[in-house]
């Protein structure tokens, strides 16, 4: 008496006789002897697997929670079923071990910013598991690297402190720049005022020097007649005043008496 077993597409059947592996059957209809034989079905399709909440420690002793997803498929059904009691769990342990080793060699900041590199290193480390577990990992990806709550809090405090520090520096630089501009403006105004006063002083000095020069030039070009005329005008003014005393030397009296106008003035003074 025979039994039959339908093996679906992308699956393989392992026929066991009295518990011992006998042969492998492909997709389709297969016959076996009930009671004495059993057909174990193995899925060869790609299978997704999610590894969540796995804790690892970075080089700087920071605890990080990781979420990893991978895709694998069975390449050797016989090894997968008979050479390991749980090939999938063995694969998971291998993945976690390599991940712990890779992240343990880098600091927290580098780990958080290098997930693509960690993915590549992990895929290279896992390689082809066919020879060991009859499995090939087609894709592995770090979905999340999350620091512990205490580290996250510390990082947030550090970020706030950095922002406050940056704001304080910017404010101080702004105030310093404002003071610099204000001081420069005052200095420029002081310099401009000093230059204007200096220019005015020079102009007044130049004007006074010009006045003195013109007067000296005029006096240098004047002859005795000019001074005599000035003296006569002085005597005339004296004649009109209330003064009646004139003191001068005998020589001067003799000189001025030669001038008719002077003599007339002196007579008027004597009459008073």
pLDDT digits (tens, 9 = 90+) for 97-125: 888 999 888 888 888 888 888 888 888 88
Q: What beta strand segments (E) does 10-111 contain?
A: 11-17, 20-25, 28-32, 37-43, 47-57, 63-74
How far is residue 79's CA from residue 141's CA, in Å, rounded to a whole number? 26
pLDDT score recorded for residue 48: 93
Q: Among 14-23, 217-226, 252-261, where is mean pLDDT lowest?
A: 252-261
Q: Which two tokens stand for residue 224?
A: 């005795």
pLDDT score recorded for residue 10: 85
153-202 pLDDT, tens per residue? 666 566 667 777 887 888 888 888 888 888 888 888 888 888 888 888 88
**264 confidence band (pLDDT: 50, 70, 90):** low
Q: Are 91 and 137 in contact (CB under 8 A)?
A: yes
How large a percentage of the chain has pLDDT more than 70?
A: 75
Q: With 60 as the cut, is the pLDDT of residue 54 above it?
A: yes
pLDDT score recorded for residue 224: 62
**2 confidence band (pLDDT: 50, 70, 90):** confident
Q: Are 49 and 70 in contact (CB under 8 A)?
A: yes
How large a percentage of the chain has pLDDT more than 90?
A: 4
pLDDT score recorded for residue 178: 84
Q: Which two tokens stand for residue 150?
A: 């205490």
Question: How far from 173 is each of 176, 178, 182, 267, CA to CA, in Å?
Answer: 5, 9, 14, 91
pLDDT (mean) for 250-269: 54
Q: With 70 as the cut, is the pLDDT of residue 38 above it?
A: yes
pLDDT score recorded for residue 8: 87
Q: Which two tokens stand for residue 128?
A: 């082809």
* Top-tier CATH class for 47-147: alpha beta
**147 confidence band (pLDDT: 50, 70, 90):** confident
pLDDT score recorded for residue 61: 84
pLDDT score recorded for residue 255: 55
How far is residue 1's CA from residue 222's CA, in Å, rounded to a whole number? 164
Q: With 80 as the cut, is the pLDDT of residue 220 above it?
A: no
Residue found under tokens 């597409």: 9
pLDDT score recorded for residue 46: 92
């Amino acid at each position: 008496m025979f039994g039959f077993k339908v093996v679906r597409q992308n699956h393989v059947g392992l026929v066991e006789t009295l518990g011992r592996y006998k042969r492998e059957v492909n997709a389709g209809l297969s016959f076996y002897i009930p009671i004495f034989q059993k057909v174990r079905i193995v899925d060869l399709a790609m299978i997704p697997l999610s590894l969540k909440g796995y804790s690892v420690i970075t080089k700087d002793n920071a605890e990080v929670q990781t979420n990893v997803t991978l895709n694998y498929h069975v390449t050797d059904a016989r090894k997968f079923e008979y050479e390991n009691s749980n090939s999938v769990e063995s694969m998971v342990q291998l993945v976690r071990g390599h991940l712990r080793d890779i992240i343990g060699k880098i600091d927290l900041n580098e780990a958080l910013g290098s997930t693509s590199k960690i993915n590549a290193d992990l895929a290279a480390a896992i390689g082809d598991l066919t020879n060991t577990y009859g499995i090939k990992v087609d894709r592995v990806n770090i979905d999340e690297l999350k620091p512990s709550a205490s580290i996250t809090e510390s990082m947030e405090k550090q970020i706030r402190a950095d922002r406050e520090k940056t704001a304080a520096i910017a404010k101080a630089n702004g105030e310093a720049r404002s003071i610099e501009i204000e001081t420069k403006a005052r200095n420029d105004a002081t310099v401009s005022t000093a230059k204007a006063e200096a220019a005015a002083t020079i102009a007044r000095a130049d004007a006074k020097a010009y006045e003195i020069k013109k007067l000296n030039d005029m006096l240098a070009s004047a002859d005795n007649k000019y001074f005599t005329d000035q003296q006569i005008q002085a005597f005339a003014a004296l004649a009109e005043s209330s003064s009646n005393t004139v003191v001068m030397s005998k020589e001067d009296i003799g000189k001025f008496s030669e001038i008719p106008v002077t003599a007339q003035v002196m007579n008027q003074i004597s009459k008073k």
